[in-house]
A and B are shown apart, each in its own frame.
Chain A
Amino acid sequence: MAENPDYRLRVEGVSKSFGPVVAVRGVSFAVRAGAVHALVGENGAGKSTLVKMITGMLRPDEGAILLDGGECRFGTTIDARRRGITAVYQDPKLFPHLDVAENIFMGFQPRGASGLINERRMYAEARRILDELGVDVDPRSLLARRSVAEIQFVEIARAMIADMRLLILDEPTASLTPAEAGRLFEVVGSLKRRGVSILFISHRLEEVRRIADDVTVMRDGEHVITAPASSFSEESMVHYMVGRELKSFFVRQEPPPKGAVVLEIAGLSLPGVFKDVSFSVRAGEIVGLAGLVGAGRTEIAEAIFGIRPPSAGTVAIDGAKTRPASPGQMLRKGVAYIPENRDENGLVVELGISSNICLSVLDRIGKAGLIRRSTESGFARPFSEDFEIKAPSLHSAVASLSGGNRQKVVLAKWLATKPKVLILDEPTHGIDVGTKAQVHKRISELAAGGFPVLMISSDLPEVLAMCDRILVVASGSIVAEFSREEATQEKIMTAASRVSKAGARAGEAGDGR
């Protein structure tokens, strides 16, 4: 791209907070006209929030967004679209029951003189745009029948019916095969030649190196650097992305445990989701599953717990092998899984603390099928004290507690079932620093007491501080393993962003049409 003095998009000092959490803080950068501009950063770096502000889904608290020099104050995504800004998201935002052409034109259908939709023109136009994109998709076929790649091209086709000036691609290749991604890049190239600017968000750094003209790195909601892509190596990009400091007072000190293997996963697979996952967790060991959002970590945990029964492989607990089929079965085997969204999946927020803690052990503490309130509190008290749950009383409704204290209740509830293995999904996501340290301390104590813990976390400093071993998951496979000594944020991030050619998409091979 020749030097082009005018900027298509300028983001100037933009900030956005959600309550006390600052998602984006004073970010400024500019996208050149007709350039591919990559936006990279770790999970939670604020990329999505920034995109939502550019497309009008969110309004910035501070700062301005300028398109071709004019300030944008979008009320809705439609306003943004009218100005030529469209976004293609990783998860399809389309209508599965309608056909391809209708999805492209919904809301903007060509009308005839009668005010009715001119179907012939609509299908012809759709055909033309799809041809132009070089995609062989029948405009009359049902969207639900199309593949993820085709659906993404439909979204791009949709963007093309408007006068497009800026196209935002939010992790477009996350669910594409290498060949499909190649097609997408060709399309990006031809759009670029037409003068469309592309803001490209990706975790795959070699892709960024391949197609981006400029790169902006974000970290912790802040702008780190914007520079021509050619001035970066993959290593230097990772270097700018990581380097967050551990905002917790707790660092685990225990030496690596030498206990017996309690949890052993062998060859766990689920076509299209994850493939051939094998690892083990020893008594007293904390094993971390690191990786990018969408890499398949939660899915693997859910498979181990039986929510998402795997199609192959086994889970052994204390040497007893099984194929997980249901959560009930795995609970009986001694697996406790604490999901990320604790309110939705783990708590009855209207009930009190003690009732929640006792919920999963009712049949054990009840007498003749009845439970006394005092029995409940008696049972719950030691847990509550162990976890230092801060509440007026044991009967206080969980709804009245802070996020951190709720998390403690969830942990207590699961520990009450006397599990053999504990799986934690983002255990400190969205809780304040002080409580975070308490939760870390408690998890660490549990491990010290001989508990095997499997912990999913996108918070790299947390992973480094807590885990004895770190497994990196990318595209549904474990791509790297580090001991606590060898692990660094750079190493983990590099492994997570690398897409091995072989395992580009788990289950790609076994999943025929």
Chain B
Amino acid sequence: MGDKGGATLARRFSNAVSRNTLRLRVFSVLFSLVALTIVFALTTPNFLNFQNLKVIAFNSALLTIVACAEALVVITRNLDVSVGSIIGLAGFVAAKFAAANPGSGALIVIVAVSIGLLLGLVNGLAVAYGKVPSIVATLGTLAIFRGVTYIVGSGIEVPSGNLPRWMIHGADATLLGMPLVVLLAVAVALILAFLGRGLPILRRVYAVGSNPGAAVFYGLRANRVVLFAFASCGALVGLAAFLYISRVGTITVNLGRDWEMTALAAVVLGGVSTTGGSGSFIGVLFGALILSTIDNGLVLARAPEFWRMFIQGVAIVGAIALDSGIERRIQAIFKHGKG
């Protein structure tokens, strides 16, 4: 085959790359995080100290939970762009409930999570059983859920002073020097990562995303699996909404606006394939950390706010472009059976 040496070397290289693409993907996330940290550490004086790193972790905690929820849906080869509005509705109703029933304790968490679950079920039913493409269905519910929040809110806001004390304190509480919410977010990612290996239904989430056509042959009932993904996404986002309202000053009907974009950015940066079937929740945790590191670095570097949006957008498109390249390779190997 012509130029032997060069061709063989090139083929070997490309084979090596394709063999390890999935593994490379996860490492590239970690690598970018480290690289980013080094860049900011060198360029921004107040960046690399324990206090600031704690701020970064704190800021990324909520995002981690929402992004892990989003990842569940993305792994099934779907999208949920309504998570921002789920935060809004679940959070606002929970806040209103908490303000009206001061002694209700843990019931507030249940309210937030149940509303999230309900909204997730609505999305899941529309996608899995209504056969509406997920991006369209959730774009619709993005508007619907927000609209309902406006109706429920009818122009009022809930100041955090009206919330029970324990919620406000809980938001700032620490354990062994780490904010509680950070530990919770890490726990969510770790538990999902663990269950993602061992829980049969979560393996099905991966299987359905990997090859929806084959799922039928395995009798996996893809519909149920997709519904499960959307519902658990909603419930987790409901949990995040509860955590969110405990720490913002005033809970407005605009709570959680634009979060879908940030969550999706964390998911793709974290190495979850938008074409489904692969992705790790630990990767998502790193993805959220990357975004929050960028945010923090830019603030410290006194960069204007719009840079944040710009970089977030570039990160999404870049990560997806990288990803579709990898996916093409996987499909190519799979089709022609050349390992």
- Which A residues are within 8 Å of any B CB, using their own CB? 76-78, 81, 92-98, 102, 106-107, 109, 111, 115-117, 119, 142-151, 175, 272, 510-513
Contacts and interface: CB of A to CB of B under 8 A. Distances in A.
Q: Which of B197, B207, B209, B277 has the most CB of A within 10 A?
A: B207
Contacts of B213: 93
A173 to B, nearest CB: 13
Contacts of B8: 512
Contact of A511 (B219, B273, B333, B338): B338
Interface string B204-244: 10110111011011111000000000000000000000000
A148 B203 CA distance: 23
Nearest to A86: B217
A150 B338 CA distance: 10
Contacts of A97: 22, 206, 209-210, 273, 277-278, 330
Given A96-B333, A107-B219, A145-B333, 4 more contacts: A95-B206, A97-B330, A115-B200, A117-B198
Contacts of B19: 145
A167 to B, nearest CB: 15
15 contacts: A77-B216, A93-B217, A96-B333, A97-B209, A97-B210, A97-B330, A98-B277, A106-B218, A109-B200, A116-B198, A117-B198, A145-B19, A512-B11, A513-B15, A513-B338
B214 A93 contact: yes
B176 interface: no
A107 B197 contact: no
Closest 7 CB pairs of A and B: A148-B337, A78-B219, A97-B277, A116-B198, A95-B210, A97-B210, A93-B214
Interface in B304-339: 330-331, 333-334, 336-339
Given A77-B217, A95-B277, A106-B220, A151 B338 contact: no
B198 A513 contact: no
A144 B218 CA distance: 18
A175 B198 CA distance: 34
B75 to A, nearest CB: 9
B106 interface: no
A201 B128 CA distance: 35
B337 A106 contact: no
A120 to B, nearest CB: 11
Contact of B1 (A81, A92, A142, A510): A510
B330 A94 contact: no
B272 to A, nearest CB: 11
Contacts of A148: 336-337
A511 B339 CA distance: 10
B199 A147 contact: no
A485 B337 CA distance: 41
B235 to A, nearest CB: 19
Contacts, number: 98
Contacts of A93: 211, 213-214, 217-218
Nearest to A176: B337
B200 A111 contact: yes
B330 A144 contact: yes
A116 B204 CA distance: 13
A107 B216 CA distance: 11
B200 A95 contact: no
Dominant secondary structure at the A interface: loop
Nearest to B331: A96
Contacts of A145: 19, 333, 339
Contacts of B22: 97, 142
Nearest to A109: B200
A513 B339 contact: yes
Nearest to A79: B219
Contacts of A116: 195, 198-200
A348 to B, nearest CB: 21
Interface residues of B, number: 36
A513 B277 CA distance: 25
A92 B217 CA distance: 11
A77 B1 CA distance: 45
A272 B337 CA distance: 10
B270 to A, nearest CB: 16
Contacts of A95: 206-207, 210-211, 214, 277
Contact of B336 (A98, A119, A272): A272
Contact of A107 (B195, B209, B218, B338): B218
Contacts of A151: 337
B211 A94 contact: yes
Contacts of A81: 219
A77 to B, nearest CB: 6
B338 A144 contact: no
A59 B141 CA distance: 38
A119 B197 contact: yes
A96 B214 CA distance: 10
Nearest to B11: A512
B338 A96 contact: no
A151 B337 CA distance: 8
Contact of B211 (A96, A272, A511): A96
A97 B208 CA distance: 10
Given A95-B214, A96-B330, A106-B203, A147 B338 contact: yes
A261 B79 CA distance: 54
Contacts of A143: 334
Contact of A147 (B197, B203, B337): B337
A97 B211 CA distance: 9
Given A93-B213, A111-B200, A146 B207 contact: no
B215 to A, nearest CB: 8
B207 A76 contact: no
B207 to A, nearest CB: 5
Contacts of A76: 219
B339 A147 contact: yes
Nearest to A89: B217
Interface string B31-53: 00000000000000000000000
A115 to B, nearest CB: 8
Given A109-B203, A111-B200, A513-B15, A96 B219 contact: no
A148 to B, nearest CB: 3
Contacts of B197: 117, 119
B339 A98 contact: no
A223 B339 CA distance: 40
A350 B333 CA distance: 37
Contact of A175 (B195, B200, B210, B337): B337
A149 B337 contact: yes
A119 B198 contact: yes
Interface in B106-134: none
Nearest to A80: B219
Interface in B142-190: none
A308 to B, nearest CB: 12
Contacts of B1: 510
Contacts of A175: 337
Contacts of B331: 96
Contacts of A150: 337, 339
A151 B335 CA distance: 11
Nearest to A152: B337
Contacts of A106: 203-204, 207, 218, 220
A476 B211 CA distance: 27
A398 B220 CA distance: 38
